[in-house]
Structure 1
Amino acid sequence: MLRNVVAKFEESHQGLRAALPEADLGLLAAGAIVFGLQKLVPAYEESYKVWYPKLRKPSWNPPNWIFPAVWIPLKILQSAALWLVWKSAGSDKASVAVPLTIFGVHALLGNQWNVVFFGRHDMPGSLKWMGAFWLSVAATAYSFYSVDPLAGLLIAPTQVWVSVAAKLNYDIVRLNKDDEKRT
């Protein structure tokens, strides 16, 4: 039964399959880059387990398991977007230097937000980094879209999630303004 369903899907979506480029080692490299960049930041296990749970949070605060459940698929989409941009350049890699640099800045700003918020417990300072991160994700989406529209669209869900994260960051800062550096 399942085999028939899969066969019918594949038969009815031949155009979609033809439009998707075949994966190569570049896709694996893009994934390694995207997932590897976040490993540059310490885990801050103590902050996640002790400091963060003590903070006042808005009523709409997602449960903790939501964050990896959302970030992992977003990182996969970012990896695919990075790969599409890289592949679109062909042998002229200089043509994608600016979008790739913007992507790198976006990744580093996201990491820096973690350092400031979870590492330093600097909640007011984290808002500035979050704002810069939000802008860099928008710039990444725009620059990727100019190279390959699908790549830009693959970054769009990250922009939505970072918007949610920015609002959460703002609300947490506001709710904890009396003790901004809880340790």
Structure 2
Amino acid sequence: MKMKPVIKLILSILFTLGIGTLGGLFTAPEIGGWYATLQKPSFQPPNWLFGPVWSLLYTLMGISLYMVWKQPSSDRRNKALTIFIIQFVLNFSWSIIFFNQHQVGWALVEIVVMWVCILLTIIRFYQIKPAAAWLLVPYILWVSFATALNAAIWKLNPA
């Protein structure tokens, strides 16, 4: 049975928003606790900004995922989807490493690996559907900022 495109779109967005929300469950309890005790750089945005930004980014990721998933099955498409899943697992894992485990240094290493995987996803998606790749540009820009923020927090809070 072939899945209708609108179902694939809904599932793609629900997948990214759902996993993003799950990652947020590891983050939210620490915002007013452990995270509040850390020294932060001057470019730290207000905490309320992260929820809306990530919601938008997860929605764009879901649309991007859909645009590639709906293409005819091929080795190229399947490899692109695999790389997307890998970077998305890393995205989810970062919240656990940073907020739940309080491992700021390891989170920095992990986010750099995630950034590389996002770039690889963009490259692979561009080969299949350029618009899908462009939808991921705000994501890599935000993760670039988050990497700088993670690095600054690590530097300001030596273990």
TM-score normalised according to structure 2 size: 0.90
Match of 1:62, SS state, is: coil
Give the whole-Å Cα distance in 2 for the aligned partners of 1:170 and 1:62.
15
C-alpha spacing 1:124/1:34, structure 2 compared with 1 (3 Å): same
Q: Provide the identity percentage.
A: 32
What residue is the counterpart of 1:52 in the other structure?
35
Q: Structure 1 residues 138-147 or 29-38, which shifts more?
A: 29-38
Aligned positions, number: 154
Q: 1:83 matched to which residue of 2?
A: 66
Gaps of 5+ in 2: none
Separation of aligned partners in 1, 2:82 and 2:95: 20
Does 2:27 align with 1:34?
no
Q: 1:95 to 1:134 in 2, by over 3 A?
A: closer
5 Å-filtered alignment, 1:68-79, equals 68-79=51-62
Unaligned stretches of 5+ residues in structure 1: 1-22
Letter aligned with residue 85 of structure 1: V
Structure 1 or 2, whichever has the larger Rg, is 1
Q: After the TM superposition, which segments of 4 or more aligned residues of structure 1 sit over 6 Å from their partners?
A: none
Distance in 2 separating the partners of 1:37 and 1:58: 28
Deviation of residue 99 (structure 1)?
Answer: 0.6
Which deviates more, 131-140 or 29-38? 29-38
The structure, 1 or 2, with the larger RCO (C-alpha pairs under 8 Å, 6+ apart) is 2
Any residues of structure 2 matched to 1:158-177 within 5 Å, and which? 158-177=139-158
The residue aligned with 1:3 is: none
| AA at the equivalent of 2:134 | L
* Residue in structure 1 matched with residue 47 of structure 2 by the alignment: 64
Q: Please report the RMSD computed on the Cα atoms of aligned residues, expressed in angstroms.
A: 1.5
How many Å apart are 1:136 and its aligned residue?
1.1
TM-score by length of 1: 0.79
